[in-house]
Amino acid sequence: MFRSAFVAALTAGACFAGSGITDALANPASGLAPHRAVYDLQLKDATERSGIAGMYGRMVYEFNGSPCDGYTVSFRFVTQVNTGDETRLTDQQTTTYEDLKNGSFRFLTRSFTDEKLDKEVRGTAREDKKGVSVDLTAPDARKLELAASRFPTEHMVEVIAHARKGEHFFESRIYDGSDSGDKTLMTTSVVGKKEMPKAGDPDADKAGVFAKQAFWPVSIAYYNDTSEGDALPVYRMSFKLYENGITRDLTMDYGEFSLTGKLAKLELFKQQECK
C-alpha cells in the first residue's frame, strides 16, 4: 500500500486475527500482479486553513518482483499546487525493495519543490525478535529499534487475506520508511463486501481485463504510533482493491485537503517465476 509523505511537505507487535492471516504471510504474495498504474490526481476538497486554491497532478506506481526474489516498488507523486499567490511543483520519488522471506526492507525517498531537492530519506529495516531494526543513512545516519511492524507488501498481503476471510475490520502496525523514516504507524483497515463495478464506471473502464471483475472497497487510516485516545488520523486512504493487489478509484485524505486518483493507464508485467 502506498503512502505519500507529500502531506509533510505541505503542512508491541502488530495485531493479527486468525490463522488464515498467518498462513497467507507464510506463503506470501504469490497472487500479487506485477504492474504499472498511472493515476490522474485532482483536488477533491480543501479547507481555508490548507492555503490551497487548486491542485492537480499525476501518480505513477510500479510494482514488480516475485515471492522468491522480493518485490520492488517505484513510486512517483507529482502535483502542481496553486496557493492563490503562487504556483509550485512538488515531486516525490520513492523506490523500495522488500524481501518477504527474510523480513527485510530497503527504501529511498527524494522530495523536490520546483525541481530543487528538499529532503532525502534513505535506509534499511529488518524484522528481528524484538521488533524492527532500522539503519538510516539519510537525512542523518542513525540506528533505531522500533516495535514489531508489517512492511508495505506484507501489509497488502494481510489486507487481502482478511478480505478473503470476510473480516471487515482489523488493526496493524506498519513501517514504510515514510516521512523521516524514524517511526512506525498504527493503521485501522475497513474492508467492505466484494462487489462488481457499476455500469458506466469510467474508472473501471481504464482497468482493462479487470473492468468487469469484482473488487473490495477498502479504507485505511494511519495514526501516529504515539497517539492516545480518540486521535485523528494523519492520513486516510480509500480505494477499490482486486485480489491481485491492483487498486483504483483512490481518495487520499490529508485532513486539510483531499485528492482523488483516477486510473489513467494500467499495464501488466509478466509474472516472474520462482527458480
Cell of 147: 516495535
| 157 within 8 A of 32, measured Cβ to Cβ | yes
At 11-21, the pLDDT tens digits run: 322 333 333 44
Evaluate whether residue 165 is within a structural domain. Answer: yes
Confidence of residue 164 (pLDDT cuts 50, 70, 90): very high
pLDDT the model gives residue 206: 84
Cell of 11: 503542512
Amino acid sitting at position 197: P
pTM listed for this prediction: 0.87
φ and ψ of 178, to 5 deg:
-80, 175
Listed in order, strand segments (DSSP E) in the chain are 35-46, 54-66, 70-82, 87-99, 104-113, 116-127, 132-138, 142-146, 169-174, 185-191, 216-224, 235-241, 247-253, 257-268
φ and ψ of 244, to 5 deg:
-95, 10
Is the pLDDT assigned to residue 207 strictly greater than 90? no
Handedness of CA 41, 45, 50, 52 (dihedral sign): positive
Q: What's the burial of 199, exposed, middle or buried (CB within 10 Å: 0-12/13-18/19+)?
A: exposed
Confidence of residue 227 (pLDDT cuts 50, 70, 90): low
Evaluate whether residue 275 is within a structural domain. Answer: no
pLDDT the model gives residue 273: 75
pLDDT the model gives residue 20: 40
Name the residue range of residue 213's domain. Answer: 6-268
Confidence of residue 65 (pLDDT cuts 50, 70, 90): very high
The separation between CA 158 and the C-alpha centre of its own chain, rounded to angstroms, equals 13
In the chain, % of residues over pLDDT 70? 87
Evaluate whether residue 273 is within a structural domain. Answer: no
Average model confidence (pLDDT) across the chain: 87
What is the count of structural domains for the chain?
1
Evaluate whether residue 223 is within a structural domain. Answer: yes
Closest CA to 33 of 213, 194, 246: 246
Query: Distance between CA atoms of 33 and 65, rounded to whole angstroms?
Result: 9
At 246-275, the pLDDT tens digits run: 999 999 999 999 999 999 999 999 887 777
At 166-179, the pLDDT tens digits run: 999 999 999 999 98
| 124 within 8 A of 135, measured Cβ to Cβ | yes
Evaluate whether residue 75 is within a structural domain. Answer: yes
Evaluate whether residue 40 is within a structural domain. Answer: yes
Is the pLDDT assigned to residue 238 strictly greater than 50? yes
Query: Distance between CA atoms of 156 and 249, rounded to whole angstroms?
Result: 17
Q: What is the arithmetic mean of pLDDT over 86-111? A: 96
Evaluate whether residue 92 is within a structural domain. Answer: yes
